[in-house]
């Protein structure tokens, strides 16, 4: 499957007409800092960076469908009215989206549909606008202070439409993240990852296993905010075998573990989204080289060398 996906991958040079706006006529609202809006394609699926408000609204609608309609998150009045997952951080983040150009709507018309998304927040942008989103759950200030020589990128609000929830869309998103990481010289990726359900009790053994198997050393250690902290019983780590523990993880969290991510030793209960959250730390220099090779594309390497 990996080889087939690689052969099918086409960069922006292979389909230049698709580099125009996804929804023509709208005013651009993003400066992509030298990156093209269209980052590549596999078949009908195109990987893009949102450049217009309409692109971002489509991502917000997908997030509402996944987080609220499917996941049971509690919407405020404005989000419920607009049927969009609205967040103040959306205005300062870059938005990575996967678009299906072969989607046919209920009227029988072919229309581009956003089927996957990721939100990206660079450290320089976060510092100008009050900090990272994950600071609302975790005390990340000491982490940043220990690594003033490092450039951080926060990953967040990741989701894939349930009808497209296959390996290919997530792979496209990760190709885009890696292109973005190389272009902006990112040293460390951070963010929150979730287990379903705000009640941490069903996840007790999983959290304990994560803490034991992927806990960072003191250099990368991060604690939850005291007001939101969930106690983890480390003695329960022995209750799960590694294979069974991995099988219980959501696909995204499982992917983080496989590439070599570190997991903060504490968790947070997010009542609004109905999840139990852990903190992810991924120093780029420590990512498994196999995944770096796989997610790199010829065009991303050429841009880096330029």
Instruction: Indicate whether 297 pLDDT > 90.
Output: no
Query: In whole angstroms, what separates CA 76 from the centre of its chain?
Result: 23
* Summary mean pLDDT of the chain: 86
CA distance 41 to 200: 39
The total number of structural domains that make up the chain: 1
Mean pLDDT of 24-40: 81
For position 29, what pLDDT does the model report?
75
What percent of the chain has pLDDT above 90? 61
* Residue 12's pLDDT band (cuts 50, 70, 90): very low
**Domain encompassing residue 36:** 2-305
Contact, 222 vs 138, CB < 8 A? yes
Chain segment 196-232, per-residue pLDDT in tens = 999 988 888 888 888 888 889 999 999 999 999 987 7
Chain segment 50-68, per-residue pLDDT in tens = 999 999 999 999 999 999 9
Instruction: Indicate whether 13 pLDDT > 60.
Output: no
The residues, any chain, with a CB within 8 Å of residue 82's CB and separated by 6 or more, are: 60
Provide the token pair at 231.
Answer: 């106690």
CA distance 251 to 258: 10
Angstrom distances, CA of residue 174 to CA of 65, 73, 159, 166, 276: 21, 25, 12, 13, 23
Chain segment 253-277, per-residue pLDDT in tens = 998 998 999 998 899 999 999 999 9
CATH number at residue 106: 3.40.630.30
Of the candidates 262, 29, 256, the one whose C-alpha atom is nearest the C-alpha of residue 138 is 262
For position 4, what pLDDT does the model report?
36
Angstrom distances, CA of residue 38 to CA of 15, 49, 300: 9, 7, 12
Angstrom distances, CA of residue 259 to CA of 7, 25, 267, 294: 22, 40, 21, 11
**Residue whose token pair is 């894939």:** 160
Chain segment 112-157, per-residue pLDDT in tens = 999 999 999 999 999 999 999 999 999 999 999 999 999 999 999 9
Q: Worst-scoring range by mean pLDDT, 158-172, 201-215, 236-250?
A: 236-250
What percent of the chain has pLDDT above 70? 86
- Please compute Rg for the chain using Cα positions: 19
């Amino acid at each position: 499957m990996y080889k087939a996906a690689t052969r099918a991958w086409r960069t922006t040079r292979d389909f230049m007409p698709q580099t125009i706006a996804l929804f023509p006529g709208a005013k651009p609202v993003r400066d992509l800092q030298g990156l093209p809006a269209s980052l590549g394609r596999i078949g009908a699926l195109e990987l893009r960076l949102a450049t217009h408000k309409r692109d971002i609204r489509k991502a917000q609608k997908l997030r509402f469908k996944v987080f609220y309609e499917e996941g049971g998150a509690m919407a405020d009045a404005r989000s419920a009215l607009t049927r969009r997952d609205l967040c103040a951080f959306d205005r300062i983040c870059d938005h990575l989206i996967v678009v299906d150009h072969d989607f046919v709507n209920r009227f029988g018309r072919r229309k581009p549909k956003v089927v996957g998304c990721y939100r990206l927040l660079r450290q320089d942008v976060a510092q100008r606008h009050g900090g990272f989103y994950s600071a609302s759950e975790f005390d990340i200030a000491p982490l940043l202070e220990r690594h003033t020589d490092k450039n951080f990128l926060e990953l967040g609000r990741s989701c894939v439409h349930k009808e497209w929830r296959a390996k290919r869309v997530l792979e496209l998103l990760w190709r885009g993240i890696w292109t973005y990481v190389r272009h902006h010289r990112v040293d460390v990726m951070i963010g929150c990852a979730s287990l379903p359900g705000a009640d941490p009790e069903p996840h007790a053994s999983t959290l304990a296993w994560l803490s034991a198997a992927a806990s960072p050393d003191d250099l990368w250690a991060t604690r939850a905010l005291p007001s939101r902290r969930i106690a983890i019983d480390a003695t329960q780590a022995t209750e799960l075998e590694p294979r069974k523990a991995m099988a219980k993880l959501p696909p995204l969290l499982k992917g983080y573990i496989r590439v070599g991510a570190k997991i903060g030793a504490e968790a947070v209960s997010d009542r609004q989204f109905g999840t139990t959250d852990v903190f992810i730390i991924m120093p780029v220099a420590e990512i498994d080289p196999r995944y770096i090779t796989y997610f790199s594309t010829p065009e991303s390497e050429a841009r880096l060398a330029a």
